[in-house]
């Protein structure tokens, strides 16, 4: 029986940041860590001569589906004071370390739409073999192309449909290319100054 103490939320977050940072370094990315606790992103990477903001999350999947939390809560005296949902205006990538698979996954901010609560990545095939409108985790194993141009099976499928802002939908209208995410210098306006742990 494992009597090891459970890691705190802070420890799990720190572990995820280290795992993602190590994974990105192995992939040849240059890496920087923002100073202080007031940023919406945990890491800054340089790829193809551009700086991109990365928010990191820790999760523990059931081995079939990875649930990625796309928002953060600000707590006061243990109570939720504010909920912030990430968008392309505040980050370029949402990176998640899944303890179950011991792998890192990278979701481009364009897939977050105007802000959503969670996003699902499927590790194992669906029992009914459904593939349409399904995000397969293997398509997100590394940052692909630009921060808003992940050419996954899901994205190609979604661009051919008019999708809503639901739990599995892609927010861009049919026939319209996803808007490019901001560079680290804030092309979409000033960066938010409140970090939501």
Within-domain flag for 40: yes
| 15 backbone dihedrals φ, ψ, rounded to 5° | -60, -45
Give the CATH number, domain containing residue 133.
3.40.1350.10
Within-domain flag for 178: no
Within-domain flag for 103: yes
Rg (CA), the chain: 17
Within-domain flag for 165: no
User: Helix, strand, coil: what percent of the chain each, to 5?
Assistant: 15, 25, 55
42: which DSSP letter?
A: S
Within-domain flag for 175: no
pLDDT tens digit sequence for 88-134: 999 999 999 999 999 999 999 999 888 778 889 998 887 777 777 78
Global pTM reads 0.67
With CA atoms as reference, report the closest residue to 141 among 26, 12, 13.
26
Range 15-34 average pLDDT: 94
What is the span of the domain harbouring residue 106? 9-158
Within-domain flag for 147: yes
With CA atoms as reference, report the closest residue to 30 among 48, 56, 15.
48
Q: Give 69's strand partners.
A: 118
Please give the distance of CA 125 from its chain centroid, rounded to a whole number: 21
Please give the Cα distance from 18 to 125 (Å, whole number).
29
Is the pLDDT higher at 172 or at 139? 139
- The domain tally of the chain equals 1
Please give the Cα distance from 156 to 71 (Å, whole number).
25
Q: 25: alpha, beta or left, given left = phi > 0 and alpha = psi -120 to 50?
A: alpha
Quote the tokens at residue 140. 């997100």
pLDDT tens digit sequence for 147-172: 554 434 344 444 443 344 433 333 33
């Amino acid at each position: 029986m494992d009597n090891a103490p459970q890691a705190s939320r802070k420890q799990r977050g720190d572990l995820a940041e280290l795992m993602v940072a190590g994974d990105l370094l192995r992939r040849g990315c240059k890496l920087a860590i923002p100073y202080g606790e007031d940023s919406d992103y945990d890491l800054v990477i340089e790829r193809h001569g551009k700086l991109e903001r990365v928010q990191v999350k820790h999760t523990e999947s059931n081995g079939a589906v990875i649930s990625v939390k796309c928002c953060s809560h600000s707590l006061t005296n243990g109570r939720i004071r504010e909920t912030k949902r990430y968008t392309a205006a505040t980050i370029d990538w949402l990176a998640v370390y899944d303890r179950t698979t011991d792998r890192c996954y990278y979701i481009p901010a364009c897939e977050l739409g105007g802000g959503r609560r969670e996003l699902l990545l499927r590790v194992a095939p669906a029992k009914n073999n459904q593939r349409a409108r399904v995000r397969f985790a293997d398509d997100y194993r590394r940052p692909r192309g630009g921060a808003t141009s992940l050419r996954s099976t899901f994205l190609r499928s979604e661009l051919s449909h008019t999708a809503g802002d639901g739990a599995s939908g892609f927010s861009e209208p049919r026939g319209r290319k996803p808007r490019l995410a901001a560079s680290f210098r804030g092309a979409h306006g000033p960066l938010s100054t409140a970090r939501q742990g």
